[in-house]
Chain A
Amino acid sequence: DAGITQSPRHKVTETGTPVTLRCHQTENHRYMYWYRQDPGHGLRLIHYSYGVKDTDKGEVSDGYSVSRSKTEDFLLTLESATSSQTSVYFCAISDPTDPRANTEAFFGQGTRLTVV
């Protein structure tokens, strides 16, 4: 299995509180991603990173911020959690040899977040 660890694996938090999810990789892959997965919507990209301090938005980035200060760590922060952010969050990594192409992504185990 690719060396990707998400923490925490489960979290319950209250509306309005900030929450940070961590993704740690040991593969030295350049690209890291945060997705959320919801019934009826599938996997949707929140943010991704293509290098240290280099990040970009995905299709559902509102209410989320990210940071990548080291190659191995990619943090996802919910600035003020809402019930609509209750979801399963997956981190993924990839390492394309050609930035114009795409290679397979390897996924972490997921974090189940419940906002009450």
Chain B
Amino acid sequence: QKEVEQNSGPLSVPEGAIASLNCTYSDRGSQSFFWYRQYSGKSPELIMSIYSNGDKEDGRFTAQLNKASQYVSLLIRDSQPSDSATYLCAVNPIYQKVTFGIGTKLQVIP
């Protein structure tokens, strides 16, 4: 079992819809959780971090964490074609050694 699991996609959503990206992790001791966005041919950039159970909102993005279920999600409201990218879930089971999922490719259809 991989430490961080993501569906590679592609996940296709129409413009204006909510995109829901999901991630599960195996190490119950993990404390920090991140979502990175990576455009094709570019480097990853952080869009959300979350450290405690519940929801964290930043603009159109909401990160959700459920440690009991070992589940992290990212919701993108009012999806735009510019949101089309690969979204990487990252977890740190051991401090300072972040583990990434393979990423989910999101396609927003105009």
Provide the main secondary structure of the chain B interface. loop
- In A3-54, which residues have CB < 8 Å from any B CB? 31, 35, 40-45, 48, 50
How many B residues touch A, CB cutoff 8 Å? Answer: 22
Q: Which residues of B contact A105 (CB under 8 A)?
A: 46, 98
C-alpha gap A99/B45 in the complex (Å): 21
- Take A42-B88, A43-B88 as given contacts and tell me if A101 and B31 are in contact as well, using a CB distance cutoff of 8 Å: yes
Cβ < 8 Å to B, chain A residues 44-66: 44-45, 48, 50, 58-59
> Which of B43, B95, B100 touches A42 (beta carbons < 8 Å)?
B100
Name the distance in Å between A65's Cβ and chain B's nearest Cβ. 18
Which of B31, B43, B45, B92 neighbours the largest number of chain A CB atoms within 10 Å of its CB?
B43
A interface residue numbers (CB < 8 A to B): 31, 35, 40-45, 48, 50, 58-59, 90, 94, 96, 99-110
Which residues does B use to contact A, with CB under 8 Å? Answer: 8, 31-32, 34, 42-46, 49, 51, 88, 92, 95-103
